[in-house]
Structure 1
Amino acid sequence: MAANKTVLTVLVSVGLLAATACTSSPDGGGATPRTERLTTTTTPGNAEVDRVTWALPYGEPTTLDPAKVGDYSPQTVEANLCETLTRMNPDFSLSPGLAQKVTWTDDHTLVLDLRSDVKFWDGSPMTPQDVIHSLERQRDPKTQALYGNFLAAVTSIQATGPHQVTLLTKTYDQTLPKALSTSFGAVSQKAYTEKAGPSYGTAQGGLMCTGPFTLGSWKSGNNITLERNPSYWDAKLQPKAREVVFQFITNSNTLTSALLSGEVDGTYELAPSSATALAKTDSGTIHLGPSTQNVLLIPAHSDSPAADRRLLDALSQAIDRDALIRHVFGGDATPLKSLVPPLTWRGDAAAAQFDAAYEALPAVTKPDLEGAKKLAEQAGPVSRPLVAAIPAGDQRGLQALTFIQAAAKKIGVDIEIKQLQPTEMSSLFYDPSVRKGLDLILTFGYVAMPDPASYVAEMVTPGGIFNWTNYDNPDVTRLLGQARTSTDPAASAKAYAEAQALFTPTVPVVYLAATHERMFMNKRISGAPTSFAYMGMPWAAYLGGTGK
């Protein structure tokens, strides 16, 4: 039984990632990654600052609707606008958010005790009805939401008090409270959302949320400006920056110049080439943080010859991952053995069990051209070049795919690189029509919460939003279901480990690397978290001036 288990008490007691004392900058060139170089936070910025300009290297968001954001740019912005019911911390632990307490009172009842002092940007109080509407619209087909699967076990969502919402479920679901820390758990005002309709979250429709910043303006093709929310409820997180301006800069060289000149104050997802240039100056600091990002090469659809696991295994054996990490990622990554990096479960009560199962997986493939050629022969000749997609202007992606292209050439497989505009690249993850004409996608993906099973399920179970090749293994589906519904962390970890052992060698994916977060800030500001947790927390509220 899970009776009276206050979820946040469990999750806060162990952070997913531990901060370290070292804050040294990377040299940008080929060093072996060392965990002591990773940090989760920076020195607090204590002074007020009129404006901070931040880059979005993946381009302009397609939407800021919390129900629909699922990529780097939109989540980087939206996390500062629409707050979640539980809050992600820089060390990947969870703490209370708009819900001050989240409790399983029994295996079928999840109670959310809401804060009573939260107001939307227009001054109206947040009510249980707003929370219910925000959750319910996730499973309304008209919303076209990305996260409706998190409600798979939920049978009803009801107001059970003036500041309380209760979710009744068919079964215990250990994923559900964790998901409340993602954009799935963000709360929008019901009245505003209903009035805006399909335009909610767009430049025209706007937003109405409770976060530390309001959406000041959105100039399509130019920038998005956030303004400080003067009536924000959390006194400990009152923003010091009056305004945060997001610039859409997808070209690495352009971004490097803007950071060097001070035109842009900072960025997440700094390219290794930019890091090399910036490390030679004293204009600011490059910070490395822990991350749940994974670099994968994925077939675009089941009809492509690239969907043949034998061909993918041939490509995998042809790739020198150590060289890839050294030359493309500046040494700031580690080889990846499966879909999910180990940091994902670091704060789980059964972390040692997860670690042991991951360690037991076959070793990372070493380059073996002769073996790769034999596998390619077994798969059969590929009569045309395989078309592989990356975002236009993404130098890191281009370098990685060029590296893979050269390795594939050695075993007789031709790869044609196609650079897509950032909005098109973002859309292809959720729109099958955009993937037509493509064979491979080089993805820089990520796990948004401390729960490997839910992420993997979207890639390997029938109907999963990222299961582009229709992979279907009933045993994997069953085991992932057990991992999600078990009330015992050890039993959940065991089920996931068994599923991992089955899908890792069979799902059509080439596992490449788990990267570290690389962030840059210039000297005049500080305070931003350095870990990948920034994607799910109001990170800009931590920014402040340094007086330099």
Structure 2
Amino acid sequence: MSTTRRTARRLSAAAGIAVAGALALAACSAPAADDEKTPAPEWELTAQTDAPSGDIDSFTWVSYSEPYSLDYAYAFDYSDNQVLSNVCESLLRLNPDYTLTPGLAEAYEHPTPDTWVYMIRQGVTFHDGTPLTADDVVASMSRHLDPEVGSSWYSVYQNVASIEKTGDRQVTVTMTQPNSQFNLAMGGSAGVIESAATLAEKGADYGNSTGLVNCTGPFELTAWKSGESVTLKRYDGYWDDTLRAKAGEVDILFMTDSNARVNALKSGEVDGGWMIPTDAIAQLQDSGKGEVYFGLNTAVGSLIVSDLEGPLGDLRVRQALMMAMDRQGMLDTAAKGYGEVTNALTTESVWVGASDAAMTAAFDGLQEYDHDLDAAKKLVDEAGAAGEEIVITTAPIGNDFAVISQGAAAAAQSIGLKAKIETVSPSAYTALFSDPSAREGTDLFYTSWYLSSPDPLEMYSVLRTGEFSNYGNWSDPDFDALVNEAVAIDDPAARSDVTAKAQRITNEQLPWLPLFEGPMTVFLGDRVTGVAPSVAMLYYPWAATIGAR
């Protein structure tokens, strides 16, 4: 498989972020009338729900989609990782508050700027009872470098020169250049460890409904009924007593229809689920069957500028469109007001270890782009873009797709541009993220982009010149220099000071148009409790903490 094909496959999986993120924000509500004002809902973040009273024999959960794959190399979406996080473990553990602590690596060292050394935990066994070894770690990590695998996480490993066993329980990763982001990514799918023997035995069937997986987490994957469900069973040989599963078994059901999911929760047919359609929150809160909780999130809903050769290539037109869009109205209609308008492409939640000065520089004093049609029209006229057309590509995926595409088109038309909404199939929409030819003729498309590590550089690294996820081929030498400088800095506070400057550049240059951010939602029925509401459910074993109410 060529490098080009490998990269395309990686970003095809990334497109699922946009699809699933859309479902997280809104699923099936109708836009409000122009003259209606949606009252802001009352909600607050919850770090941890009540502790369980004890264990529970089993509980059921609902997911909006069947996993694309449970092979950690391709687990790049909500539906994949919310299952895998309970079954497989990484070298480091990404906690619900987005801090990193030791995982399958009980410790790590950074002896030189170019090397990371991981000490592998003793006393850990895979679900088949075999012990975890350094050889398993080398085999698992090396797959991300194999072009025949085509890992969705190749970008994490692209500067890796070697992965070697350097001791009985020691693995050393040597980089081609200093890279702080590599170790931060070891708390997610990029750091998952699988049995080398299982990888060799299962081959192409690894991670699918036939081959399953053999990992070290608190639950074992015992069944995958294609199109229906997966079943997780408590692994009694689990090494970490603090995260021993409180449920003997968990059934995760796949329900692609949002109404069916909501009805299953309202009726008590299932005990819980992540990413509640926002128009159903009030229904579920009034159902008497459980409670909706709001937790930490790292996703920002944005419009990606995918063609800088057309009208949006002029910064003044991008600024004008930001000023013409009623982003608060979009939030109110698409997400029922659960969230807030933002001018940044990252949430404060990922700036872990940042200095106070960096947080002030990164978020305070950003250009607000207040709603101002007169000023926006003036910018369009100055750019000589009046009467030019932009194409907004969307798909019948969720209500927010419709609201945002219609809102952006109306804003463009209100300032003298022509706007066309091009509706494509969900699969064709996915191709926008993986195939440059699919983006031809598209000026804007929507994403809700979450970060998988506690550092905003994960976002800004993809906007450097030439990066595959830099969909509009935006280029700013000062931005590139800042991001490259920050990547080489190990200290998170010092790194954040540089990253803040990069964030301010994107706020000014608008390679993507930030719209709003919102909380991660979860519903817990009246039988269960114990979960920490957080987008870290993608990598943290959330189901292990759920027990009897």
Kept in 2: contact 1:85–1:98 (CA 8 A) = yes
Structure 1 distance, partners of 2:514, 2:118, is 38
Structure 2 distance, partners of 1:539, 1:434, is 37
Pick one of 265, 270, 275 that aligns with 1:264.
Answer: 270
Structure 2 distance, partners of 1:55, 1:433, is 36
Structure 2 distance, partners of 1:391, 1:543, is 34
Q: C-alpha displacement at 1:181, in angstroms?
A: 0.4
SS at match of 2:247: coil
Pick one of 151, 163, 181 that aligns with 2:157.
Answer: 151
Residue 20 (structure 1) aligns with = none
Residue 485 (structure 1) aligns with = 488
Code of the aligned partner of 2:40? A
Pick one of 16, 31, 46 that aligns with 2:40.
Answer: 31
Code of the aligned partner of 2:394? A
Q: C-alpha displacement at 1:361, in angstroms?
A: 4.5
Residue 368 (structure 1) aligns with = 372
Deviates further, 488-497 or 233-242: 488-497
Q: Deviations over 1:105-144 (max 9, x none)?
A: 3333322111111111221111111111211211222221
Q: C-alpha displacement at 1:168, in angstroms?
A: 2.7
Q: C-alpha displacement at 1:49, in angstroms?
A: 3.0
Residue 497 (structure 2) aligns with = 494
Kept in 2: contact 1:251–1:395 (CA 8 A) = no
Structure 1 residues 33 and 178: CA distance shift in structure 2, 3 A = farther
Q: C-alpha displacement at 1:74, in angstroms?
A: 1.3
Structure 2 distance, partners of 1:379, 1:228, is 64
Kept in 1: contact 2:56–2:246 (CA 8 A) = yes
Structure 1 residues 253 and 79: CA distance shift in structure 2, 3 A = same
SS at match of 1:504: helix
Q: C-alpha displacement at 1:273, in angstroms?
A: 0.1
Flag structure 2 segments of 5+ consecutive residues without an equivalent.
Answer: 1-28, 30-37
Structure 1 residues 387 and 400: CA distance shift in structure 2, 3 A = closer
Residue 277 (structure 1) aligns with = 283
Structure 2 distance, partners of 1:51, 1:277, is 25
Pick one of 348, 359, 362 that aligns with 2:363.
Answer: 359
Structure 1 residues 156 and 427: CA distance shift in structure 2, 3 A = same
Pick one of 359, 380, 385 that aligns with 1:380.
Answer: 385
SS at match of 1:464: coil
SS at match of 1:207: coil
Kept in 1: contact 2:394–2:401 (CA 8 A) = no
Kept in 1: contact 2:306–2:473 (CA 8 A) = no
Pick one of 319, 327, 334 that aligns with 2:325.
Answer: 319
Q: C-alpha displacement at 1:395, in angstroms?
A: 2.9
Pick one of 104, 108, 112 that aligns with 1:98.
Answer: 104
Structure 1 residues 266 and 424: CA distance shift in structure 2, 3 A = farther
Structure 1 residues 444 and 379: CA distance shift in structure 2, 3 A = farther
Structure 2 distance, partners of 1:269, 1:150, is 27
Structure 2 distance, partners of 1:531, 1:171, is 33
Matching of residue 162 in structure 1 with residue 171 in structure 2: no
Q: C-alpha displacement at 1:384, in angstroms?
A: 5.9
Structure 2 distance, partners of 1:202, 1:379, is 53
Matching of residue 452 in structure 1 with residue 452 in structure 2: no
Matching of residue 223 in structure 1 with residue 226 in structure 2: no
Residue 410 (structure 1) aligns with = 414
Structure 1 residues 545 and 134: CA distance shift in structure 2, 3 A = same
Kept in 2: contact 1:252–1:274 (CA 8 A) = no
Q: Deviations over 1:248-298 (max 9, x none)?
A: 333332322121111232222212101022122221111111221101011
- Give runs of aligned pairs for residues 500-519 of structure 1, distance below 5 A: 500-519=503-522
Residue 54 (structure 1) aligns with = 61
Pick one of 42, 54, 57 that aligns with 2:49.
Answer: 42
Kept in 2: contact 1:453–1:484 (CA 8 A) = yes
Fraction of identical pairs, as percent: 32
Structure 2 distance, partners of 1:247, 1:395, is 23
Structure 1 residues 142 and 353: CA distance shift in structure 2, 3 A = farther
Structure 1 residues 544 and 398: CA distance shift in structure 2, 3 A = farther
Structure 1 residues 163 and 64: CA distance shift in structure 2, 3 A = same
Deviates further, 115-124 or 502-511: 502-511
Matching of residue 328 in structure 1 with residue 334 in structure 2: yes
Kept in 1: contact 2:392–2:409 (CA 8 A) = no
Q: C-alpha displacement at 1:451, in angstroms?
A: 1.0
Kept in 2: contact 1:82–1:210 (CA 8 A) = yes
Code of the aligned partner of 1:414? A
Structure 2 distance, partners of 1:438, 1:340, is 24
Structure 1 distance, partners of 2:113, 2:175, is 8
Structure 2 distance, partners of 1:194, 1:239, is 29
Q: C-alpha displacement at 1:309, in angstroms?
A: 4.4
Pick one of 254, 257, 260 that aligns with 1:254.
Answer: 260
Kept in 2: contact 1:482–1:495 (CA 8 A) = yes
SS at match of 1:247: strand
Structure 1 residues 204 and 462: CA distance shift in structure 2, 3 A = farther
SS at match of 1:168: strand
Kept in 2: contact 1:405–1:414 (CA 8 A) = yes
SS at match of 2:171: strand
Code of the aligned partner of 2:202? A
Pick one of 541, 545, 548 that aligns with 2:544.
Answer: 541
SS at match of 2:239: coil
Q: C-alpha displacement at 1:152, in angstroms?
A: 4.0
Q: C-alpha displacement at 1:308, in angstroms?
A: 5.4
Q: C-alpha displacement at 1:306, in angstroms?
A: 5.4
Flag structure 1 segments of 5+ consecutive residues without an equivalent.
Answer: 1-27
Q: C-alpha displacement at 1:385, in angstroms?
A: 6.6
Q: C-alpha displacement at 1:485, in angstroms?
A: 0.8
Structure 2 distance, partners of 1:369, 1:233, is 60
Q: Deviations over 1:346-366 (max 9, x none)?
A: x31x33122121234433211
Kept in 1: contact 2:367–2:507 (CA 8 A) = no
**TM-score, with structure 1 as normaliser:** 0.86
Code of the aligned partner of 1:520? F
Structure 1 residues 298 and 154: CA distance shift in structure 2, 3 A = same
Q: C-alpha displacement at 1:221, in angstroms?
A: 2.5
Kept in 1: contact 2:303–2:515 (CA 8 A) = yes
**TM-score, with structure 2 as normaliser:** 0.85
Kept in 2: contact 1:306–1:386 (CA 8 A) = no
SS at match of 1:501: helix
Code of the aligned partner of 2:448? F
Structure 1 residues 320 and 265: CA distance shift in structure 2, 3 A = same
Q: C-alpha displacement at 1:427, in angstroms?
A: 5.7
- Give runs of aligned pairs for residues 391-410 of structure 1, distance below 5 A: 392=397, 394-410=398-414
Residue 68 (structure 1) aligns with = 74
